[in-house]
Structure 1
Amino acid sequence: MGVGCLASMVAAQVASGVRPDPVRWTGPVVGLLTAGAGCFAASRLGAGRAVRAVGAAVALGYAVEWVGVRAGVPFGRYSYTKVLRPQVGGVPVAVAAAWAGMGLASHAVAATLVPDGRRWARVAVGASALTAWDVFLDPQMLRLGLWRWARDGAYRGVPAGNFAGWLGVSALLMGVFESIVGVEQDVAEGLVATYAVMAVMETLAFAAVFEPRDPLVAVAGGTAMGSFAVPAAVLATARRFAGTRAAGRGDRWPR
């Protein structure tokens, strides 16, 4: 099911890039992203732990966004428009769900790159990987009119403090995943693929699909996410083939 959700997410992203109304595809893309991440996690961890991880991430994501639009912390002062629905308390449901989908993928990247007992190193790597996604996300959502900053920042209208807030919240989320998911090398394959696919799709979108195109964001986001996606994908693939040779079979990529 995870592979099916991932493939459907890619199809929905392609549709959002070629249709004149891309906002209508935002909800389905996020829903498929989160569902796919949950399925990949469930196939390795069991449904119970996967549901707890997704639920905790959605709750945390909603909480920080709810506080953010009211108090201006931790990201800075911003507000959501009425474009992305449904909303609860002024926060789009899709935004809370996105923290879970890409959060799980980023944690898997960290678990792949730091597979041993260095828990705080995994938290730092996972938080950085998730923040790298926002190098794409904020410019994209601003151009779609889904939220607004009280004051424009230097990076395509995004204030620098936003990324500091993302890093802090992402670190908290990685700590939550560590307590629920822990580190298991076998959880990484499909989730790392999700992270890598997102990096490729966003890079191509800003470089060649969106109008107007934005090479700056394509390079900045592609470099940021690619610095995590490439080594994690290489390591996950190497471990996959090493495990296949050891076990004498190859039926576990990816469930």
Structure 2
Amino acid sequence: MTSSDLFRSLVSEITGVTPRVAEVSSHAAEAATPKRADDAPADDPVRIIRREELAKSRGTLTRVDYQQRLRSGEWRDQRREVYDNGDSAVLLPYNRARQTVLLTRQIRLPPFLKEHAPALLEACAGKLDDEAAEVRIVKEAEEELGLRVTAPERLFSLYMTPAAVAEKITFFLCDYTPADRLTSGGGLAEEGEFIDILEVELDTAAGMVRSGEIQDAKTVILIQVLLARYGDGSALASTAGSPGVSAPPSSEA
């Protein structure tokens, strides 16, 4: 009988409850056990020494000890914290006839805590939740924008904060017309989403990037892509405010 088994037996006799100390201790020990540095391929520039889970809720925060090979061939000890909250997709709908885009507006806690920022203007986005990006973004468009999307155009996938965050975002564009509006959108209240929807002229959106009204990086990227296709680029040099902003037309418009 091991010491942990003996401890469990004594506690069980005294309290009538069998503790799970051994399982918890075993799990913690396993999570903290260093991996052999020489498990990595010989030509790998990074050797993982140890992973330790610091927190886990909607995402996982992990502290990683590793060695990185320098140009000299020397191995340097490093430590980083990595947050993995899953991959995402983002979509910016564009109406070619009206030259408008659909944006969302909602409170984002980190900017609020950092700068007391008001609600942010963003493109429609959401977590993949183990679905293909093309499948998930169609659902997000209907939930957030009330928009029917049948053929989202996949552009590329990017890491937005690769030094600390594992999330990779897949970017999409799509065409839309007023007839594609199925519902008023606004997000899912049960998921804590309270989203306003705005229809903004593309040139106005570009001016809002320049003036700082749009601060979301993924939205800025998609606006730049649309400008490269359909704009003359002059809007980003303007400090135009928001005169070209309106509520999106309903399907009856």
Which of the pair has more CA radius of gyration? 2
Between Structure 1 and Structure 2, the one with more strand by share is: 2
Between Structure 1 and Structure 2, which shows a larger proportion of helix residues? 1
Whether the TM-score (by the shorter chain) exceeds 0.5 is: no
Length-normalised TM-score, structure 2: 0.23
